[in-house]
Amino acid sequence: MTPADALAAAPLLVLVGGACAIVLLDLSSLPGPRLMAGLGAAVALAAGAAAAVLGTGAPGFGGALLRDGGALAFTLVIAVATAMSLALAGGYLAREAVPGGEFVALVLLSAAGGVLMAVGGDLVVIFLGLELLSLPLYVLTALLPRAARGDEGALKYFLLGAATSAVLLYGIALVYAATGHYELAALRGVPPGGPLILAGLAFIVAGLAFKAALVPFHAWAPDVYESAPTPATAFMAVVAKAGAFGALLRIVASTTGSAIDWQVSLAALAALTLILASFAAVGQRRVKRLLAYSSIAHAGFLTMGSATGIFAAPAVVFYLAIYGALTVGSFGVIALLDNDDPTIGDLAGLWRQRPVLVLALGVFLVGLTGLPPTGGFLAKLYVFEAAIRSQLLWLVVIGVLASVVSAAYYFRVLLACFQPGDASASPHPAPRLGTVVVSVAALAVLAAGVVPGPLLDLAQHATY
Amino acid sequence: MTLALVVAAPLAGAIFLALFGGYLGRRTSGTIAAGAILVSFGAAAAMAPVLLARGGSIDAPIARWLPIPGADFHLVLDVTMLAVVLMITAVSALIAIYSIGYLAGDRGIQRYFAALDLFVAAMLLIAVASNLLLLFAGWELVGLCSYLLIGHWRERPAAAAAAVKAFVINRIGDAAFLVGIFLVITGQGTVEIASIGQLSITTSVLILGGALAKSAQLPLHTWLPDAMEGPTPVSALIHAATMVTAGVVLLIRIGGPLSDDVMLAAAIIGAITALGAATVATAQTDLKRVLAWSTISQVGLMFTAAGVGAIFAALFHLVSHALFKASLFLGAGSVLHATQDEIDIRRLGGMARRTPWTAAGFVAGALGLAAIPPAAGFFSKEAIAAAALDRPYLLVLILLTSAVSAFYAARLVTLVFLTSPRSDRASSAHEPGAVMLLPLVGLALGTMTLGLAVAAGAIDLGVGALADAPPWLGALSLALAVAAVLAGWLLYRGGPRDETVLALARSGYGIDALYGRTAVPLFEAIARALELGAERTNGMVLDLVARTAMSASSAARRVQGGYLRAYETLLLAGAVALLAYWSIR
Amino acid sequence: MNVSASDLLVVPAVATVASLLPLGRAVRSIGVASGLLVAALSIVLLATPAALAGEQRLVWLAPLGLSYHVGVDGLGGVLLVLSGVLFAVGAAASGDAPHPRGYMALWCALQTAVTGIFIAQDLLLFFVFWEAMLVPLSLLIWLWGGPDRGPATFRFLLYTMTGSAVFLVGIVGLGVAARTFDIVDLASKPISEGAQSLLAALFLAAFVVKLPLFPFHAWLPRAYLAAPIPVAIVLSGIIAKTAVYGIVHLCVGLFPLGILRLAPVLVSLAAVGALYGALLAFRQRDTRRIIAFASLSHLNLIGLGAFSASHLSIEGAAIASVSHGLVVAALFLLAAMLALRTGGFELDRASGLGASAPILAALFTLAVVAAIGVPGTSGFAGEFLILSGSFLAHPAAAIAATATVVVAAAYGLRLLRLAFFGPATTTAFDLRLGERALLVPLLALVLLLGLVPALVTDRISTTDLTPHAQVAR
């Protein structure tokens, strides 16, 4: 292993190493789930720190692992999202009697897979990353000991995921058959399509779209998000998308200049996703399912950004970062409640019980709607601007209307917290660390709305 | 500055009384109110010598107002309007003094006097405004004050309704006037009266519309009889001296620019209204309503005069009518005060013996109304008739109106004062106090002396001496008047008669009832239709959008069957679609 | 003293935070102070001779094209003074709101957003503040409102957001195409007539819902009724005027040819709306509903002035905006005072109150007189300038709108008659000092502006209508 290889693999090594350490630590059954979660968060932060410190540079392993701006940006996003999810998980794990060490280790491994997808320089590595991302997620979905539906969700996820992996692999094979290479760099300047390469790329995109939960590949998401342990849901809602979009952007970047028209197809995916997901969320009574559809809709916005071409990568990264904070935050608030799978009615009286949580939730919901002064507004603005620059006005109109519709369901959730009642009453005090994390996330979102400078600068670095 | 004082004094009085009148007593408020008006009178009188000597006008620009050329706080007084101003202030001051006595024991006296002063200020504004917009300001404020004063006795539902009716009908005219002003602005480029050239027929018609409403002429006259619900001094003020004459003042001031055809139309409308209203007055049994319809009739005569360009005649009759009508109203007020509000003339009678001073004042006014010398009314009506000599149809209407006026004047005097009392309240009447009698007497004297003074040229109303009227006209008029008076006295000296034949006339020929059955219900029906139709539909559309979103939502969620195979199919379908699309491109 | 436009923003922002201090019921004085201070600073800025007073320009978010460009122009300054006054009055009238700290924090947040709209000289910045109004306003109505507040808030929210969504599309489209979002810069760029019409239509989507122009007003009656009285005052008095400002400053300023093309339709709708609102006001039995529909009528009349886009009609729209804000505040306060004495807002609860509460009757009469546009009040000045300004280009609409004065007299006097005339069915205590203290300044301003409308019209200089925007003189 050359120094370049080591540098390229550093964040991965930290994550995987940390996962292994957690597993070993778990054998001793000394630390409780809270401590495990805290350690896991620390590991994730360390990985992120490593990436930040090391910065960009030459690729490692002969181009298999890249260290360009895009890789760095996605690695950071994944690291922070993982850390947040784990920090929130402590109390939840203790309360629901979920095995702590396994949970944390699985999350860290999955995070490694996400990073791998985003930094991968060739298709096989991307595939490996996808699998490394997905397999722990299947297990995580089933980890709640008391609920039977977790098993059902996990099984569905696994079966669908396996089918998708097969599709993805087949696509990779086709591309290899057409070009003779796995490296993404080799795709640059490939002459316009024989059917092989087109089919290959189509299947690859289908596989990635499945992970990102885009319509019509989204059908698993509501069931899975609802039945998984909430911190796991928070984690997968962000990291799975981050990995998928990281890979997607890289593939799009590699094929710029070829005759493959990403714009229309991705735009169509985005449009479908936005329309279906927004309307589906309107009637939802269960909060986790509602947030699941919300995530799907936001994937649509991310796709809108991707559709405009690689020059909009900073917009996608910015959106992902904000979306990450908002999603982990909102799922996190749910995770901090006693009821694992609340309906909207179960939120009544939450304002009286946990006012800080409701304030934070309010910030997140307003941010998800895309209203100022939260960062959510600027994120959507950034994406819209990019889309208009690419002549995708129709898509912007759809996106804007989807935002309006989303206000309906987000506000319904928020206002439910102010209803009189004590459906959300709880004998336990609010978990402290979790509340702190959620509050910090809310403040970050507000700060990003007013002084987004640092985050924007960071996003600008996402070059390919 | 003196000119500004003319308007400023009563305005200041109004503001002062509105703010502090609650702490003052009845007499103090009334004195302040009357005093302010008298200051105004004094200021106008002070300017009279200058104006009469050199003619022209006195100009008083004060301040900017609206950003439209000419629309400033700018006053101008010429000799013509000097007479009007003096009349307004003199009569109003006397009425204010009278009110001190009439409204003894009334609880809202400070708002009464505040409104009264504001009324006078607004009326003066109409007379001395240099531009149409400032005139319109006075115009509408006069309407507002009439609302406040007619509805002064708030507990009476009839008064409340009458006040609203007056204001709304006036507003209809005001709306027409407004559109006329828009046309003036776009056509003439300025609203300064002195700078306005010839106006189009449309503009003239619209402005005339405003005048018709304010002066209660056909077809916008129905508010005036109802306005009798207010206190009698208010009726005197509104219906004798001021408000209703505003339309005439407008026609006098702007008659030049107005189209001749429209002015002639005004004359005809005025004449027809005059005769019609006179006949209605003959059939009234309510003391004040006789006077109300009488006012409509007399103002019609003024319109006739102004319409044919006889400014002097119109002006003369304006002033003379103010005097005799105010006498009549104040006299009527005294009668009401004395008989505890017995308003039905069929139940009055014998007031000459019980309230001789009141009777004297009233009779003086009646003489003016009947146009019998030496009352000024004779001379002013002469002037009008003389002006119509070259339009026989108008002349006939004028003469007929005079005859009928004399007749009902006699009827009224006979029934109320000369016959024997027909009710307890009439028999136990007492003469009111000096505070009420003195103004009445003052007005009566004015009525009797003014005519002679003007006819003899001693007082110059500024618009030319009495036109040389042929003597036969005067003789004919006098003969008609005397005959009519005799007829009235003879017919009614035995008391009230059966007047069922006059039923149609009593109802004002059913015009008010017609409006009540058509215009008002139509308006209400439109409003109701809009509320139940358009508004409800509009609300439902919004709800429909919300419901559509919900159904779309259910449709979207049906994709989530939970069936694994369905999901897989979707997946593959998506991939295939993607592939297909790319292959095609 | 050198005041910058940002100071106007800092004051309510600080007040928002300060409201969270534990001051009990006295926290509303923060709101009053914030409002008055903004009004005072705005007057200072209005007195400066610069076309754009207190201007500040910073590049803020370069990748997004967002610059922080603020400044106060004539119309904006005038409306800022109005907003300061109304927020102060509303805060003073919010004495018995439960949870006063949260209420006042949201109140000052709303004021911050509204202030931002009037100073923003960058399209995106304008939009940020435009959307930022929604959250505090919705929460204020939903959490402190009367029955029906849930559905009313939802409808208001979604209707408004839909309009804003279309607005955003227009903004982003224009900004990306012209490579700048700055309003001052955009004013000097040539835009084809067709593009102007399209952009004007897109921009107007937000404003016609917010004003609201007939027939996009379905949210209005329910929202006005559900909102607590101080919020209704602000909603009707100043938030509706943000739409007026948007129409004049953005649409007429940037797309004059587009507005000229769309004017016949817009002007007709406005004229119809003015009459419609007045006719419906005549049928209502609840004082708040009367005020709501009367406002609809007035706001559509103001819209008529804005859409006619002549210099005179825009001056009229400016005065009428200020006048309506003051008058509607007075009317809502008076309605609340009346309801306090009769037990509810329905007019058939009691009559003949003029006898026992003459001062209440007098001030109510004065407010109604101003509402129906009697000369001497600012209502007349505004109405007349709008109507005469629109008459040249749109005579039919102007005439139809003039008919509104008759209907206005009908509904206004009917309200007074039902409450204060007739035999007294109950007695009521007359206005207390605190109540008078709120009303008298409002009504005094109404009279002042009626006599000296130049205080407002002189500020609406030709530079407000940018060089290629001299549409119809």
Q: Which of the 8 DSSP states describes residue C256?
A: H
A447 touching C, CB under 8 A? no
Q: In total, how many domains does chain B have?
A: 2
CA separation for the pair B321, B302 (Å, rounded): 9
Q: What is the pTM of this model?
A: 0.90
**Assigned domain for B142 exists:** no
Query: Do B531 and B488 reside in the same domain of the chain?
Result: no
Residues 229-248 of B with CB under 8 A from C: none
**Assigned domain for B150 exists:** no
Query: Do B495 and B540 reside in the same domain of the chain?
Result: no
Q: What is the pLDDT of residue B117?
A: 93
**Assigned domain for B240 exists:** no
CA separation for the pair B418, B437 (Å, rounded): 20
CA separation for the pair B327, B350 (Å, rounded): 19
A205–B557 C-beta distance less than 8 A: no
Structural domain of B550: 520-584
Taking contacts as CB-CB distances below 8 angstroms, the residues of chain B near A259 are 585
Give, in degrees to the nearest 5, the angle at Cα B402 between B401 and B405. Answer: 85
Distance from CA of A206 to the nearest CA of B (A): 5
Q: Taking CB atoms and an 8 Å cut-off, how many pairs form between chains A and C?
A: 73
Closest to A262 measured CA to CA, from A271, A254, A252, A276: A252
**Assigned domain for B2 exists:** no
A404–C162 C-beta distance less than 8 A: yes
Tokens in use for B532? 């139940």
Query: Do B428 and B290 reside in the same domain of the chain?
Result: yes
Q: What is the pLDDT of residue B466?
A: 58
Taking contacts as CB-CB distances below 8 angstroms, the residues of chain B near A284 are 553, 557
CA separation for the pair B366, B408 (Å, rounded): 9
| DSSP assignments along B188-202, one per residue | HS--BGGG--PPPHH
Provide the residue-wise pLDDT of chain C in tens; the chain has 473 residues: 677 888 899 999 999 988 888 877 788 889 999 999 999 999 988 888 777 888 888 887 777 778 889 999 889 999 999 999 999 999 999 888 888 888 999 999 999 999 999 999 999 889 989 999 998 999 999 889 889 888 888 889 888 988 999 999 899 889 888 888 888 888 888 888 888 899 999 999 999 999 999 889 989 999 999 999 999 999 999 999 999 999 999 998 889 889 999 999 999 999 999 999 999 999 899 999 999 999 999 999 999 999 998 888 999 999 999 999 999 999 999 999 999 888 889 888 888 888 888 889 999 999 999 999 999 999 999 999 999 999 988 999 999 999 999 999 999 999 999 989 988 888 888 888 888 889 999 999 999 999 999 888 888 865 444 433 444 43
Question: What is the interface pTM, i.e. ipTM, of the complex?
Answer: 0.91
Q: Which of A388, A403, A404 sits opposite C176 (nearest CB)?
A: A388
C138–A411 C-beta distance less than 8 A: yes
C423–B175 C-beta distance less than 8 A: no
Q: Which of the 8 DSSP states describes residue C68?
A: E
Contact A388, C176 (CB under 8 A): yes
**Assigned domain for B444 exists:** yes
B583–A195 C-beta distance less than 8 A: yes
C453–B178 C-beta distance less than 8 A: no
Closest to A368 measured CA to CA, from A443, A447, A295, A451: A295
The set of residues, in sequence order, having a beta carbon less than 8 Å from that of A402 and lying 6+ positions away, is A274, A275, A277, A278, A297, A300
C64–A385 C-beta distance less than 8 A: yes
C172–A418 C-beta distance less than 8 A: no
Taking contacts as CB-CB distances below 8 angstroms, the residues of chain A near C132 are 371-373
Chain B interface mutation, best of A218, A265, A275, A279, highest count of B Cβ atoms under 10 Å: A279
Q: Which of B555, B571, B573 sits opposite A164 (nearest CB)?
A: B571
CA separation for the pair A171, A211 (Å, rounded): 15
Taking contacts as CB-CB distances below 8 angstroms, the residues of chain A near C142 are 415, 418
CB atoms within 10 A of CB C26: 9
Closest to A458 measured CA to CA, from A268, A319, A331: A319
Domain range annotation of chain A = 1-156+215-253, 263-464
B567–A156 C-beta distance less than 8 A: yes
Q: Write the pLDDT tens digit of every residue in A335-364.
A: 888 887 888 888 888 888 888 888 899 999
**Assigned domain for B395 exists:** yes
B560 touching C, CB under 8 A? no
Residues 119-138 of B with CB under 8 A from C: 133, 136-137
Query: Do B529 and B489 reside in the same domain of the chain?
Result: no
Provide the residue-wise pLDDT of chain B in tens; the chain has 585 residues: 788 888 999 999 999 998 888 788 778 888 899 999 999 999 988 888 888 778 788 888 888 899 888 888 999 998 888 888 988 999 999 899 888 888 887 888 888 999 999 999 999 999 999 999 999 999 999 999 999 999 998 888 899 999 999 999 999 999 999 999 999 998 888 888 888 888 888 999 999 999 999 988 888 888 998 888 889 899 888 887 788 889 999 999 988 888 888 989 999 999 999 999 998 888 888 888 899 999 999 999 999 999 988 888 888 888 889 888 988 898 888 888 888 888 888 888 777 777 888 888 888 888 888 888 878 788 888 888 888 888 888 888 888 889 899 998 888 888 888 887 777 777 777 788 778 888 888 888 888 778 777 766 656 655 555 556 677 887 888 888 888 888 888 888 877 777 777 778 888 888 888 888 888 888 888 888 888 888 888 888 878 877 777 777 777 776 666 667 777 777 777 777 777 776 666
Tokens in use for C381? 């000045």
A389–C176 C-beta distance less than 8 A: yes
Contact B146, B167 (CB under 8 A): yes
Taking contacts as CB-CB distances below 8 angstroms, the residues of chain C near A366 are 135
Q: Write the pLDDT tens digit of every residue in A54-76.
A: 888 778 777 788 888 888 899 99
C364 touching B, CB under 8 A? no
A397–C124 C-beta distance less than 8 A: no
**How would you classify residue B340: left for phi > 0, otherwise alpha for psi between -120 and 50, otherwise beta?**
left
Q: Write the pLDDT tens digit of every residue in B239-286.
A: 877 888 899 999 999 888 888 889 899 999 999 999 999 988 888 888
